[in-house]
Chains A and B, each alone.
Chain A
């Protein structure tokens, strides 16, 4: 492949990227021909986004060379990459929702004469672009915020068309689109392809890859594993390559004794985000929730805990139906929720360890209306030693703690409420392996004491290692419930979530 470079549009050679403590890309090679549509696949943290951010000029690589049309380029920022014809459509759109379509498309390049906008020309040019992205029915002066989310995404793509683009990067473009909108997107991609533009798809959806892509590249642990034509590899083989050996290394958990049913969710629905979710968990049992980004896994936990409202469905807790309207209700039923984002929803960073640790159960440290400093001290001291939290003192501001220790503070906060059901949302994200193991053993202790646990995780080895059964979600729907026995493999889980055979 690499020998004759006559027909190479983009070439990335030996791309290396190190962050403090993380080697995110390990000498990755990647090349594209004009008109090639390539899917990049890999688990979370495999290095897909990092590679694309290097190509988009957002990160500069630690080592390596990028060549476009035979000319070596160095990007210092996203603007540089844009000038060389790289267009990067991120998952979060960067539109101005209050402005009209025309201004959004031409914001950086408004046609003007001596400072006055030539509105007639602007409207005409915009209509051209709208035609190219199949939005003929929209007028240039419509407000972008009023459009459907899928249409907004097409506007975002239209915005890149006003300058000559050579490579279009689409990061999970279809996660918020309807089937009809996906068709339009593919139509646009095919047209770009005819004009010689290369398109990179970051996606997890197998059907889409086989429908639109010519080639696919698989990444794992910051390395390029393989690149080949989509016809040359089966879906099962793709999954196996993505997982590599990690699937074999499993954690082992001791024997667990299950008690009575603690929570049952029946027919939980919330708009189009969640449809007919049903599962149950017993005391001493750990249920995993798996799904790709946007599959609705976090929403399930939030609905149970009263943070989000749900339209219909029933939640049975300790054998009786319950109505949970706000987190306070859930807490008084002895539920706990460790949120996905410690900084945004878990901790008050400016405050001390003891402040955070006692926040979910202020009753325990109250004497009348006052805070009893003595009780607080005893409680936080015992929390610190029970979970072995590394902190100079209970008065330390939590922002100075490491990620793993911060997470332990959050856990400790909830253990203080003496919960019977713990909901964990990505409890080990962004913390080191040592702390991970410690958190597993804390959870194991709780399970042995008869607490029920539901854990959302995007790490398959983790789910296989610590859960008793796993519910797989896809696009807000429950795909299946798998019992974690010898027959459950990583590949089965990933295939269910991605929509394999």
Chain B
């Protein structure tokens, strides 16, 4: 039947476009394992994961946002703003529970503003979140006067130093969040609606899905994950600094796109984002192991993002030519 031959013809290319990231990841891991003895140590590998916990957490939310056809570049701003509120309260001797609660409240406000502006007012997501990023970063300086803070307290160290089965609790948190993200996106009715809105907004609306609410919710999920990311980052470093999360949005977006989520919305997976995140971590790690200078690391990161977007463009072209 015509239907079958059509899918058959494209299968080899489709498989590469769909699973190419995993081949590349595997290839790089093998090359590094052979060439670099320090790469294959357990400590180094857990370190790779530890380095990407922030990217990972944010990547989950970013997958949701990009699935709806949007983008969120405010993540760094939300992180630093929520973090600054935390340290101010914590320095003033407030209870830890309240401080953590406030991190989430601050982030939530940003998420609601982003989501409402994009979904209900119809403002372009890139510009909305660019503006809120700027506001977030500015507010953090207002709160802290640009100061850095160390010794954030004993309870705080729990998420920084504790290990479970020899692996940092941070990694466990990240993996748990990936599991929740996977469940939400691929197993629930909510995930269905999100995919439908991103795949074809008009068809979703005609089918009775509240497309605005769904779009808005993606930005809110994103912002709550920013709160988690801010807390984990501060716990890992044991400090707050005003440049926290600076430029992080690009690496997160790169990880999501490398993981196969399409910038035009509608298709993407949480597993892909996990793979993309690990790939970025491994590339960073390799650059360090081979003592590549910081300036060249920036060039390399830029090149990675470029390649990821190029890959996405090729994939879209292949799709439309079907």
Of the listed stretches A11-19, A24-32, A341-349, name the one at the interface; the rest are far from the partner chain. Answer: A341-349
Of the listed stretches B127-135, B161-169, B194-202, B283-291, name the one at the interface; the rest are far from the partner chain. Answer: B194-202
Contacts of B195 in A (CB 8 A): 348, 351, 355
Cα–Cα distance between A307 and B206 once the two chains are bound (Å): 7
Contacts of A346 in B (CB 8 A): 203, 206
Tell me the smallest distance from the CB of A454 to a CB of chain B, in Å.
16
Instruction: Answer whether residue B297 sits at the interface, using C-beta atoms and an 8 A cutoff.
Output: no
Instruction: Answer whether residue A141 sits at the interface, using C-beta atoms and an 8 A cutoff.
Output: no
Contacts A369-B189, A371-B189; A347 near B3 (Cβ below 8 A)? no
Of the listed stretches B24-32, B102-110, B207-215, name the one at the interface; the rest are far from the partner chain. Answer: B207-215
Instruction: Answer whether residue A359 sits at the interface, using C-beta atoms and an 8 A cutoff.
Output: yes
Cβ B187 vs Cβ A396 within 8 A: no
A-B contact pairs, 15 of them (CB 8 A): A326-B208, A326-B210, A331-B208, A345-B202, A345-B206, A348-B195, A348-B200, A349-B200, A359-B203, A362-B189, A369-B188, A371-B189, A391-B3, A392-B1, A400-B7
Q: Which one, A332, A366, A391, contacts B189 given CB within 8 A?
A: A366
Cβ B322 vs Cβ A390 within 8 A: no
Contacts of B7 in A (CB 8 A): 392, 396, 400
Instruction: Answer whether residue A208 sits at the interface, using C-beta atoms and an 8 A cutoff.
Output: no
Interface of A toward B, CB cutoff 8 Å: 305, 307, 326-328, 330-332, 337, 339, 344-351, 355, 359-360, 362, 365-366, 369-371, 390-392, 396, 399-402, 413
A-B contact number at CB 8 A: 90
Interface of B toward A, CB cutoff 8 Å: 1-4, 6-7, 187-193, 195-196, 199-200, 202-210, 266-267, 319, 322
Dominant SS among interface residues on chain B: helix
Cβ B187 vs Cβ A371 within 8 A: yes
Most buried by A among B190, B192, B193, B205: B192
Cβ B206 vs Cβ A371 within 8 A: no
Cβ A327 vs Cβ B206 within 8 A: yes
Q: Which one, B3, B188, B192, B206, contacts A337 given CB within 8 A?
A: B206
Cα–Cα distance between A413 and B199 once the two chains are bound (Å): 16
Tell me the smallest distance from the CB of A380 to a CB of chain B, in Å.
13
Residue of chain B at shortest CB distance from A414: B207
Residue of chain A at shortest CB distance from B262: A350
Cα–Cα distance between A401 and B1 once the two chains are bound (Å): 11
Dominant SS among interface residues on chain A: mixed
Contacts of B205 in A (CB 8 A): 307, 326-327
Q: Which one, A332, A345, A392, contacts B3 given CB within 8 A?
A: A392
Tell me the smallest distance from the CB of B55 to a CB of chain A, in Å.
27
Cβ A348 vs Cβ B193 within 8 A: no
Residue of chain B at shortest CB distance from A328: B208
Contacts of A370 in B (CB 8 A): 187-189
Cβ B199 vs Cβ A350 within 8 A: yes
Contacts of B267 in A (CB 8 A): 350
Please provide the 4 A-B residue pairs with the shortest distance between their CB atoms, ordered closest to farther: A348-B199, A331-B208, A328-B208, A360-B207
Residue of chain A at shortest CB distance from B184: A369
Residue of chain A at shortest CB distance from B190: A369
